[in-house]
Amino acid sequence: MKVGVPKEIKVHEYRVGLTPGAVREYVAAGHRVMIETNAGAGIGATDDDYRIVGGTILTSAAEVFASSEMIVKVKEPQPSEWCQLRENQILFTYLHLAPDPEQAKGLLKSGCTAIAYETVTDPHGGLPLLAPMSEVAGRLAIEAAGSALKRSAGGRGLLIGGVPGVQPARIVVIGGGVVGTHAARMAVGLGAEVTIIDRSILRLRELDELFEGRARTRFSTIDSVEEEVFAADVVIGAVLVPGASAPKLVRRSMLSSMRKRAVLVDVAIDQGGCFETSHPTTHADPTYEVDGIIHYCVANMPGAVPLTSSQALNNATLPFGLALANKGFTAVLENPHLRAGLNVHRGRLTYEAAAESLGLPFSPIEQAAA
Protein backbone atom coordinates (compact mmCIF):
# COMPACT_ATOMS: atom_id res chain seq x y z
CA MET A 1 0.00 0.00 0.00
CA LYS A 2 1.04 3.62 -0.51
CA VAL A 3 1.25 5.18 2.94
CA GLY A 4 1.62 8.95 3.46
CA VAL A 5 2.91 10.96 6.42
CA PRO A 6 2.23 14.72 6.28
CA LYS A 7 3.98 17.12 8.63
CA GLU A 8 1.79 17.96 11.64
CA ILE A 9 0.43 21.50 11.40
CA LYS A 10 -1.35 22.05 14.73
CA VAL A 11 0.19 24.85 16.82
CA HIS A 12 3.34 23.61 18.61
CA GLU A 13 2.74 20.03 17.53
CA TYR A 14 6.15 18.44 17.06
CA ARG A 15 5.25 14.74 16.92
CA VAL A 16 5.29 12.74 13.67
CA GLY A 17 2.92 9.98 12.54
CA LEU A 18 5.71 7.54 11.60
CA THR A 19 9.25 7.63 12.98
CA PRO A 20 12.09 6.42 10.72
CA GLY A 21 12.07 3.14 12.69
CA ALA A 22 8.39 2.61 11.90
CA VAL A 23 8.91 3.51 8.22
CA ARG A 24 11.58 0.80 8.08
CA GLU A 25 8.98 -1.75 9.29
CA TYR A 26 6.42 -0.67 6.66
CA VAL A 27 9.04 -0.80 3.90
CA ALA A 28 10.23 -4.24 5.09
CA ALA A 29 6.60 -5.40 4.82
CA GLY A 30 6.53 -4.30 1.16
CA HIS A 31 4.83 -0.91 1.45
CA ARG A 32 5.79 2.41 -0.10
CA VAL A 33 5.98 5.25 2.44
CA MET A 34 5.90 8.90 1.39
CA ILE A 35 6.90 11.51 3.94
CA GLU A 36 6.45 15.27 3.63
CA THR A 37 9.77 17.07 3.76
CA ASN A 38 10.71 18.07 7.34
CA ALA A 39 7.88 15.98 8.85
CA GLY A 40 10.36 14.56 11.36
CA ALA A 41 12.10 17.83 12.21
CA GLY A 42 10.38 18.03 15.63
CA ILE A 43 12.05 14.78 16.71
CA GLY A 44 15.36 15.54 15.02
CA ALA A 45 14.73 13.08 12.15
CA THR A 46 16.02 14.46 8.86
CA ASP A 47 14.73 13.71 5.37
CA ASP A 48 17.87 11.62 4.91
CA ASP A 49 17.01 9.56 8.00
CA TYR A 50 13.77 8.63 6.24
CA ARG A 51 15.47 8.03 2.87
CA ILE A 52 18.01 5.66 4.46
CA VAL A 53 15.19 3.38 5.70
CA GLY A 54 13.51 3.37 2.29
CA GLY A 55 11.04 6.26 2.59
CA THR A 56 10.34 8.70 -0.24
CA ILE A 57 10.40 12.42 0.58
CA LEU A 58 7.75 14.61 -1.07
CA THR A 59 7.92 18.38 -1.04
CA SER A 60 4.35 19.22 0.02
CA ALA A 61 1.44 17.92 2.06
CA ALA A 62 -0.70 18.16 -1.10
CA GLU A 63 1.52 15.60 -2.85
CA VAL A 64 1.40 13.29 0.17
CA PHE A 65 -2.41 13.42 0.37
CA ALA A 66 -2.79 13.02 -3.40
CA SER A 67 -0.51 10.00 -3.73
CA SER A 68 -1.37 7.94 -0.61
CA GLU A 69 -3.97 5.26 0.01
CA MET A 70 -3.54 5.65 3.78
CA ILE A 71 -2.57 8.79 5.70
CA VAL A 72 -0.90 8.25 9.09
CA LYS A 73 -0.90 11.30 11.38
CA VAL A 74 -0.90 12.23 15.04
CA LYS A 75 -3.42 15.02 15.58
CA GLU A 76 -6.94 15.36 14.25
CA PRO A 77 -6.93 16.70 10.66
CA GLN A 78 -7.08 20.47 10.40
CA PRO A 79 -9.45 22.14 7.86
CA SER A 80 -6.74 22.35 5.18
CA GLU A 81 -6.15 18.61 5.64
CA TRP A 82 -9.67 17.24 5.78
CA CYS A 83 -10.51 18.87 2.43
CA GLN A 84 -7.68 16.85 0.82
CA LEU A 85 -9.06 13.48 1.99
CA ARG A 86 -11.16 11.37 -0.38
CA GLU A 87 -13.26 8.24 -0.69
CA ASN A 88 -11.35 4.95 -0.39
CA GLN A 89 -8.54 6.71 1.48
CA ILE A 90 -7.83 5.57 5.04
CA LEU A 91 -7.02 8.14 7.73
CA PHE A 92 -5.30 6.71 10.82
CA THR A 93 -4.82 9.30 13.61
CA TYR A 94 -6.40 10.85 16.73
CA LEU A 95 -9.79 12.38 15.87
CA HIS A 96 -11.64 13.34 19.11
CA LEU A 97 -14.80 13.91 17.06
CA ALA A 98 -17.37 14.23 19.87
CA PRO A 99 -16.64 17.90 20.69
CA ASP A 100 -15.67 18.85 17.11
CA PRO A 101 -18.68 19.14 14.76
CA GLU A 102 -16.70 21.03 12.08
CA GLN A 103 -14.13 18.25 11.75
CA ALA A 104 -16.92 15.65 11.79
CA LYS A 105 -18.64 17.44 8.89
CA GLY A 106 -15.35 17.71 7.01
CA LEU A 107 -14.56 14.01 7.36
CA LEU A 108 -18.10 12.95 6.46
CA LYS A 109 -18.01 15.14 3.36
CA SER A 110 -14.64 13.75 2.26
CA GLY A 111 -15.99 10.19 2.07
CA CYS A 112 -12.78 8.87 3.68
CA THR A 113 -12.45 5.97 6.12
CA ALA A 114 -11.23 7.42 9.43
CA ILE A 115 -9.92 5.25 12.24
CA ALA A 116 -9.47 7.09 15.53
CA TYR A 117 -6.50 6.03 17.64
CA GLU A 118 -8.44 6.90 20.79
CA THR A 119 -11.22 4.35 20.28
CA VAL A 120 -9.16 1.35 19.11
CA THR A 121 -9.47 -1.29 21.84
CA ASP A 122 -7.44 -4.20 23.22
CA PRO A 123 -8.58 -7.60 24.55
CA HIS A 124 -8.35 -6.34 28.16
CA GLY A 125 -10.86 -3.49 27.72
CA GLY A 126 -8.09 -0.87 27.37
CA LEU A 127 -7.43 1.77 24.73
CA PRO A 128 -3.93 0.80 23.53
CA LEU A 129 -3.41 3.73 21.15
CA LEU A 130 -4.60 6.35 23.64
CA ALA A 131 -2.70 4.86 26.60
CA PRO A 132 0.86 5.92 25.66
CA MET A 133 -0.17 9.56 25.16
CA SER A 134 -2.25 9.42 28.35
CA GLU A 135 0.86 8.25 30.20
CA VAL A 136 2.76 11.24 28.84
CA ALA A 137 -0.07 13.74 29.44
CA GLY A 138 -0.67 12.47 32.98
CA ARG A 139 2.98 12.97 33.87
CA LEU A 140 3.09 16.37 32.16
CA ALA A 141 -0.08 17.47 33.97
CA ILE A 142 1.79 17.76 37.25
CA GLU A 143 4.62 19.72 35.60
CA ALA A 144 1.99 22.03 34.08
CA ALA A 145 0.32 22.42 37.47
CA GLY A 146 3.66 23.16 39.14
CA SER A 147 4.35 25.95 36.65
CA ALA A 148 0.86 27.42 36.86
CA LEU A 149 0.97 27.38 40.68
CA LYS A 150 3.88 29.82 40.65
CA ARG A 151 2.85 33.31 41.72
CA SER A 152 4.61 34.76 38.67
CA ALA A 153 2.27 32.66 36.51
CA GLY A 154 -0.84 33.78 38.39
CA GLY A 155 -1.05 30.79 40.73
CA ARG A 156 -1.20 30.50 44.51
CA GLY A 157 2.57 30.66 44.88
CA LEU A 158 2.88 27.16 46.22
CA LEU A 159 5.61 24.55 45.77
CA ILE A 160 3.96 21.19 45.02
CA GLY A 161 5.97 19.18 47.54
CA GLY A 162 6.31 21.94 50.13
CA VAL A 163 9.48 21.79 52.28
CA PRO A 164 10.09 20.27 55.73
CA GLY A 165 7.74 22.00 58.14
CA VAL A 166 5.46 23.41 55.41
CA GLN A 167 2.34 21.75 53.94
CA PRO A 168 2.64 20.40 50.37
CA ALA A 169 0.02 21.13 47.70
CA ARG A 170 -3.26 19.27 47.84
CA ILE A 171 -3.87 17.65 44.45
CA VAL A 172 -7.14 16.07 43.39
CA VAL A 173 -7.22 13.84 40.34
CA ILE A 174 -10.69 13.24 38.88
CA GLY A 175 -10.59 10.03 36.82
CA GLY A 176 -8.19 7.31 37.90
CA GLY A 177 -7.46 5.76 34.50
CA VAL A 178 -4.17 6.06 32.63
CA VAL A 179 -3.84 9.87 32.79
CA GLY A 180 -5.00 9.93 36.42
CA THR A 181 -2.65 7.18 37.53
CA HIS A 182 0.40 8.76 35.92
CA ALA A 183 -0.50 12.20 37.27
CA ALA A 184 -0.92 10.72 40.73
CA ARG A 185 2.43 8.91 40.49
CA MET A 186 4.21 12.18 39.69
CA ALA A 187 2.34 14.09 42.38
CA VAL A 188 3.04 11.45 45.03
CA GLY A 189 6.67 11.37 43.94
CA LEU A 190 6.97 15.10 44.51
CA GLY A 191 5.45 14.78 47.97
CA ALA A 192 2.00 16.23 47.31
CA GLU A 193 -1.11 15.21 49.24
CA VAL A 194 -3.05 13.30 46.58
CA THR A 195 -6.66 12.16 46.25
CA ILE A 196 -7.98 10.22 43.25
CA ILE A 197 -11.70 10.22 42.47
CA ASP A 198 -13.25 7.64 40.13
CA ARG A 199 -16.69 6.19 39.55
CA SER A 200 -15.35 2.64 39.21
CA ILE A 201 -14.99 0.91 42.57
CA LEU A 202 -12.91 -1.78 40.93
CA ARG A 203 -10.48 0.87 39.69
CA LEU A 204 -10.37 2.51 43.13
CA ARG A 205 -9.42 -0.87 44.64
CA GLU A 206 -6.58 -1.25 42.14
CA LEU A 207 -5.36 2.30 42.86
CA ASP A 208 -5.53 1.68 46.59
CA GLU A 209 -3.25 -1.34 46.18
CA LEU A 210 -0.93 0.46 43.77
CA PHE A 211 -0.36 3.49 45.97
CA GLU A 212 -0.29 1.64 49.32
CA GLY A 213 -1.69 4.59 51.24
CA ARG A 214 0.36 7.30 49.50
CA ALA A 215 -2.76 8.49 47.66
CA ARG A 216 -6.32 8.48 48.98
CA THR A 217 -9.19 7.21 46.83
CA ARG A 218 -12.79 8.43 46.76
CA PHE A 219 -15.86 7.27 44.91
CA SER A 220 -17.14 9.92 42.47
CA THR A 221 -20.33 11.66 43.60
CA ILE A 222 -21.46 15.30 43.44
CA ASP A 223 -20.64 15.53 47.17
CA SER A 224 -17.16 14.03 46.99
CA VAL A 225 -16.18 16.06 43.91
CA GLU A 226 -17.34 19.29 45.61
CA GLU A 227 -15.60 18.54 48.90
CA GLU A 228 -12.30 17.67 47.27
CA VAL A 229 -12.32 20.44 44.67
CA PHE A 230 -13.08 23.12 47.27
CA ALA A 231 -10.08 22.04 49.36
CA ALA A 232 -7.64 21.58 46.45
CA ASP A 233 -4.69 23.61 45.25
CA VAL A 234 -4.66 21.65 41.98
CA VAL A 235 -7.40 19.67 40.23
CA ILE A 236 -6.47 17.37 37.35
CA GLY A 237 -9.39 16.52 35.01
CA ALA A 238 -8.76 13.01 33.65
CA VAL A 239 -12.15 11.37 33.09
CA LEU A 240 -13.13 9.57 29.92
CA VAL A 241 -16.25 7.99 28.51
CA PRO A 242 -14.70 6.52 25.33
CA GLY A 243 -15.64 8.42 22.18
CA ALA A 244 -18.14 10.67 23.99
CA SER A 245 -17.97 14.25 25.24
CA ALA A 246 -16.51 14.42 28.75
CA PRO A 247 -19.04 14.86 31.58
CA LYS A 248 -18.86 18.36 33.16
CA LEU A 249 -17.96 17.53 36.75
CA VAL A 250 -16.80 20.98 37.92
CA ARG A 251 -19.37 23.71 37.22
CA ARG A 252 -18.62 27.40 37.01
CA SER A 253 -20.65 28.04 40.17
CA MET A 254 -18.11 25.94 42.11
CA LEU A 255 -15.11 28.12 41.26
CA SER A 256 -15.98 30.85 43.77
CA SER A 257 -15.83 28.27 46.61
CA MET A 258 -12.35 27.08 45.61
CA ARG A 259 -9.04 28.27 47.00
CA LYS A 260 -8.12 31.55 45.31
CA ARG A 261 -5.61 31.07 42.45
CA ALA A 262 -5.91 27.29 42.54
CA VAL A 263 -5.08 25.50 39.26
CA LEU A 264 -7.32 23.35 37.07
CA VAL A 265 -5.52 21.16 34.51
CA ASP A 266 -8.15 19.75 32.14
CA VAL A 267 -6.39 16.90 30.36
CA ALA A 268 -9.79 15.68 29.14
CA ILE A 269 -10.11 18.85 27.04
CA ASP A 270 -9.64 16.89 23.82
CA GLN A 271 -13.03 15.27 24.55
CA GLY A 272 -14.54 18.66 25.38
CA GLY A 273 -13.19 18.96 28.94
CA CYS A 274 -14.64 18.02 32.33
CA PHE A 275 -14.74 21.55 33.78
CA GLU A 276 -17.59 23.78 32.55
CA THR A 277 -15.21 26.73 32.16
CA SER A 278 -12.61 24.87 30.04
CA HIS A 279 -11.80 25.77 26.48
CA PRO A 280 -8.88 24.42 24.45
CA THR A 281 -5.58 26.30 24.72
CA THR A 282 -2.22 25.82 23.00
CA HIS A 283 1.37 25.40 24.17
CA ALA A 284 1.88 28.97 22.92
CA ASP A 285 -0.62 30.36 25.45
CA PRO A 286 -1.57 27.50 27.76
CA THR A 287 -3.44 29.15 30.66
CA TYR A 288 -6.23 31.63 31.36
CA GLU A 289 -8.14 32.69 34.45
CA VAL A 290 -11.85 32.40 35.26
CA ASP A 291 -13.22 33.64 38.61
CA GLY A 292 -9.73 33.68 40.12
CA ILE A 293 -8.94 30.08 39.11
CA ILE A 294 -6.10 29.32 36.68
CA HIS A 295 -7.08 26.96 33.83
CA TYR A 296 -4.58 24.91 31.77
CA CYS A 297 -6.35 23.19 28.85
CA VAL A 298 -3.79 22.23 26.20
CA ALA A 299 -5.35 19.65 23.88
CA ASN A 300 -2.06 18.21 22.61
CA MET A 301 0.06 18.06 25.74
CA PRO A 302 2.33 15.21 24.50
CA GLY A 303 3.29 17.39 21.52
CA ALA A 304 5.61 19.28 23.90
CA VAL A 305 7.83 16.20 24.36
CA PRO A 306 7.80 14.81 20.82
CA LEU A 307 10.83 12.54 21.18
CA THR A 308 9.28 10.56 24.00
CA SER A 309 5.77 10.81 22.58
CA SER A 310 6.44 9.90 18.93
CA GLN A 311 8.39 6.83 20.02
CA ALA A 312 5.72 5.73 22.51
CA LEU A 313 2.92 6.37 20.01
CA ASN A 314 4.67 4.52 17.17
CA ASN A 315 5.35 1.52 19.41
CA ALA A 316 1.60 1.23 19.97
CA THR A 317 0.28 2.11 16.50
CA LEU A 318 2.74 -0.01 14.49
CA PRO A 319 0.94 -3.39 14.54
CA PHE A 320 -2.43 -1.80 13.75
CA GLY A 321 -0.98 0.44 11.03
CA LEU A 322 0.77 -2.54 9.43
CA ALA A 323 -2.46 -4.56 9.51
CA LEU A 324 -4.24 -1.69 7.71
CA ALA A 325 -1.44 -1.36 5.18
CA ASN A 326 -1.42 -5.13 4.55
CA LYS A 327 -5.15 -5.67 4.24
CA GLY A 328 -6.81 -2.28 3.78
CA PHE A 329 -10.41 -2.02 5.00
CA THR A 330 -10.55 -5.82 5.36
CA ALA A 331 -8.35 -5.40 8.44
CA VAL A 332 -11.12 -3.31 10.02
CA LEU A 333 -13.72 -5.94 9.21
CA GLU A 334 -11.57 -8.79 10.52
CA ASN A 335 -10.14 -7.26 13.70
CA PRO A 336 -12.70 -6.28 16.36
CA HIS A 337 -10.20 -3.89 18.00
CA LEU A 338 -9.57 -1.94 14.79
CA ARG A 339 -13.31 -2.07 14.14
CA ALA A 340 -13.82 -0.25 17.42
CA GLY A 341 -11.56 2.46 16.01
CA LEU A 342 -13.70 3.10 12.95
CA ASN A 343 -15.43 6.47 13.44
CA VAL A 344 -16.23 7.54 9.85
CA HIS A 345 -16.73 5.49 6.69
CA ARG A 346 -17.93 6.76 3.30
CA GLY A 347 -19.92 9.68 4.66
CA ARG A 348 -21.34 7.90 7.72
CA LEU A 349 -20.57 8.15 11.42
CA THR A 350 -19.86 4.66 12.69
CA TYR A 351 -19.06 5.39 16.37
CA GLU A 352 -22.23 5.57 18.42
CA ALA A 353 -21.01 7.69 21.37
CA ALA A 354 -19.51 10.27 19.01
CA ALA A 355 -22.70 10.38 16.92
CA GLU A 356 -24.76 10.85 20.09
CA SER A 357 -22.54 13.69 21.36
CA LEU A 358 -22.67 15.37 17.95
CA GLY A 359 -26.43 14.87 17.53
CA LEU A 360 -25.82 13.19 14.17
CA PRO A 361 -27.14 9.87 12.84
CA PHE A 362 -25.17 6.73 13.71
CA SER A 363 -24.63 3.92 11.18
CA PRO A 364 -23.42 0.51 12.34
CA ILE A 365 -20.36 -0.65 10.38
CA GLU A 366 -22.31 -3.34 8.53
CA GLN A 367 -24.65 -0.64 7.19
CA ALA A 368 -21.88 1.83 6.36
CA ALA A 369 -19.77 -0.82 4.65
CA ALA A 370 -22.65 -2.33 2.63
Write down the catalytic residue from 270, 295, 337, 345.
270
Is-contact 35 5, C-beta < 8 A? Answer: yes
61 annotated to bind ligand: no
- How far apart CA 356 and CA 55 sit, in angstroms, is 40
Find out whether 166 is annotated in a ligand binding site: no
CB of 270 to Mg ion, least distance (A): 3
Q: Which is nearer to ligand NAI, 299 or 354 (CB)?
A: 299
Q: Which residue number, 32 or 248, has a Cβ lying nearer to ligand NAI?
A: 248
Backbone angles phi, psi at 332, to 5 degrees: -70, -40
Spatial distance between the Cα atoms of 148 and 181, rounded to a whole number of angstroms? 21
Are 253 and 288 spatial neighbours (Cβ–Cβ below 8 Å)? no
Q: Which of 341, 284, 350 is nearest to 108 (CA)?
A: 350
What is the three-class DSSP state of 61?
Answer: helix
Q: Give SS3 for 53.
A: coil
Of 20-28, 177-185, 298-306, 311-319, the segment contacting Mg ion by CB under 5 A is: 298-306
Residue 345 among the catalytic residues: no
Q: Which of 270, 313, 332, 350 is the binder for ligand NAI (CB under 6 A)?
A: 270
Q: Cβ of residue 76: shortest distance to Mg ion, in angstroms? A: 8
Is 34 a known ligand-binding residue? Answer: no
DSSP conformational letter for 10: S
**Of residues 39-98, those binding ligand NAI (CB under 6 A):** none
- Would you call 182 a catalytic residue per the annotation? no
Is residue 270 a contact residue for Mg ion (CB under 5 A)? yes
Whether 36 and 64 have beta carbons less than 8 Å apart is answered as yes
* 48 assigned to a ligand binding site: no
The answer to whether 176 contacts ligand NAI (rule: CB under 6 A) is yes
- How many Å apart are CA 146 and CA 128, to the nearest integer? 28
Work out how close the CB of 198 gets to ligand NAI at its nearest, in angstroms, rounded to a whole number.
4
Binding site for ligand PYR (CB under 6 A): 94, 130, 133, 270, 300, 302
Query: 292-311: which residues touch ligand NAI (CB under 6 A)?
Result: 298-302
Judge whether 344 is annotated as a binding position.
no
Please identify which of the residues 31, 47, 96, 266 carries the catalytic annotation: 96
DSSP states of 156-215: ----TT-BTTB---EEEEE--SHHHHHHHHHHHHHT-EEEEEES-HHHHHHHHHHHTTSE
Q: Which positions are catalytic?
A: 96, 270
* Interface ranges with ligand NAI (CB under 6 A): 118, 130, 133-134, 137, 174-180, 197-200, 203, 220, 238-241, 246-247, 249, 267-271, 298-302
